[in-house]
Structure 1
Amino acid sequence: MIQLYRPGASVVHRAPTGSKLAVLTVAALLLSLVPQTAGSIGVVLLAVSALYRVAGFPMRVLGSELWRIRWLVLVLGVALAVFFSPLIAWINTGRVVALLLLASLLTLTTRMADLLDALHRMLRPLRRLGVDADAVAMTLSLTITMIPVVAGFAEHVRDAHRARGVRPGVRAVIPLLVLALRHADDVSDALVARGIG
């Protein structure tokens, strides 16, 4: 499994994992449910960018995270602009970018073990309803972690196409899918080796 955590002593690193998860959840709900304007999305993106600085990361880390999701931003933004309007494209693409950057910041400032523990504690009351807290916690943590991992795979595929002088098109999805499935197999083998699942 790829470890995304970057050690640090910032306020964001020291914040309780449960609090960081709560902030991510609330941000996702607010961005999804509350109507946004072009100006408010700009403020949200600036605030998320500022959180990277508060976490003690240089701007190149934020730039690297943005670079990883550039194709998603481009495809989503262009599709929304063509089928709806540039304003809707800006607002909705901004929402997605803000959430992905927050999820990346969570994985950069939180150890996987801490993330699993926090998710497990939050889900423990659901055991009365027959929910397997361990399995759900592992699934959620892997999902959050996979966002930047798959974005990294997409970057590798694009770089490989560029190195060969091939124009990446729809066929670029196939090697990306192969890499993602291979990574999933590796993660599965690692979990089985540790007696999980």
Structure 2
Amino acid sequence: MVTLYRPGDGPWHRLRAGPKTALLLLIVLGVCLLPATWWAAAVMAGVCLACYAIRGAGMRELGRQLVTVRWIVGLTLVGQLVFLGPESAAANTTRVAVACALAALLALTTPATALLETIERAMQPLAWLRIDPQRAALTLSVTLSTLPVLAGLARDVREAQRARGGGRSLRHFAMPFLVMALKHADQLGEALAARGVR
């Protein structure tokens, strides 16, 4: 499974997967409950900076994660500006960026197996609804691991376009990216089927 995990010995790395997931989830929930105001946007950004300032993460890593989600952030900002105005747009876009960055912080500092076990334990109460916790946890983990893969595929396509002297045409980018994404989905499906996941 492709993972964002980077080994380290900082406080985020030493914190067990369960409490760390719960803590980051509470922080994201708190960020989501703040009003859409300028001061709330500043508080959200400050919370995110504080989380990444802890040893083992770092501002450079935060910058990398924000660059990865720049299209999501950009589309959110444009949509919010059109419908809600600058203050709400700034706050809501910051909210989305912070949620993405904190989700990445969890993946960066938690091994995929530990994260999978934590998700599976959290989903145990769903067993009485006849939902298989193992399958649900695996589905969620595969979904999370697919995001960095797609970002890598997009980067590879752009680099190939630059190497051939191509421009930044969306039309010329979309087709090869779609083909590579579908190929990855096929390979992932075959790998899961080979392991008995139906």
TM-score bracket for the superposition, by shorter chain length: 0.7 to 0.9
Given that 1:103 and 1:144 are in contact with CA atoms closer than 8 Å, whether structure 2 keeps it comes out as: no
Name the CA distance, whole Å, in 2 between partners of 1:188 and 1:36.
41
Shift of 1:68: 1.2
Match of 1:166 in 2: 167
User: Structure 1 vs Structure 2: percent identity of aligned residues?
Assistant: 41
Counterparts in 2 of 1:3-18, with a 5 A limit? Answer: 3-18=3-18
Residue type of the alignment partner of 1:150: L
Residue type of the alignment partner of 2:87: L
Match of 2:25 in 1: 25
Q: 1:91-129: per-residue Cα shift (whole Å, max 9, x none)?
A: 111111111111111111111110111111111122122
Given that 2:31 and 2:44 are in contact with CA atoms closer than 8 Å, whether structure 1 keeps it comes out as: no
Given that 2:57 and 2:105 are in contact with CA atoms closer than 8 Å, whether structure 1 keeps it comes out as: no
Match of 1:185 in 2: 186
Counterparts in 2 of 1:76-115, with a 5 A limit? Answer: 76-115=76-115
Count of aligned pairs between the two proteins: 197
Shift of 1:173: 3.7
| Bigger shift: residues 93-102 or 64-73 | 64-73
| Bigger shift: residues 126-135 or 57-66 | 57-66
Residues 44, 2 of structure 1: alpha-carbon distance in 2 compared, 3 angstrom cutoff: same
Q: 1:165-196: per-residue Cα shift (whole Å, max 9, x none)?
A: 31233663443333333222222222233333
| Bigger shift: residues 147-156 or 110-119 | 147-156
Match of 2:61 in 1: 61
Residues 43, 173 of structure 1: alpha-carbon distance in 2 compared, 3 angstrom cutoff: farther
Name the CA distance, whole Å, in 2 between partners of 1:137 and 1:51.
26
Match of 1:45 in 2: 45
Return the TM-score normalized by structure 2. 0.85
Q: Which structure 2 residue ranges, 5 or more long, are not aligned?
A: none
Structure 1 stretches of at least 4 aligned residues deviating more than 4 Å after TM superposition: none
Q: 1:31-90: per-residue Cα shift (whole Å, max 9, x none)?
A: 334423222222222322332231413432222111111222222212322333122221
Residue type of the alignment partner of 2:190: D
Q: Which structure 1 residue ranges, 5 or more long, are not aligned?
A: none
Residue type of the alignment partner of 1:193: A
Residues 86, 26 of structure 1: alpha-carbon distance in 2 compared, 3 angstrom cutoff: same
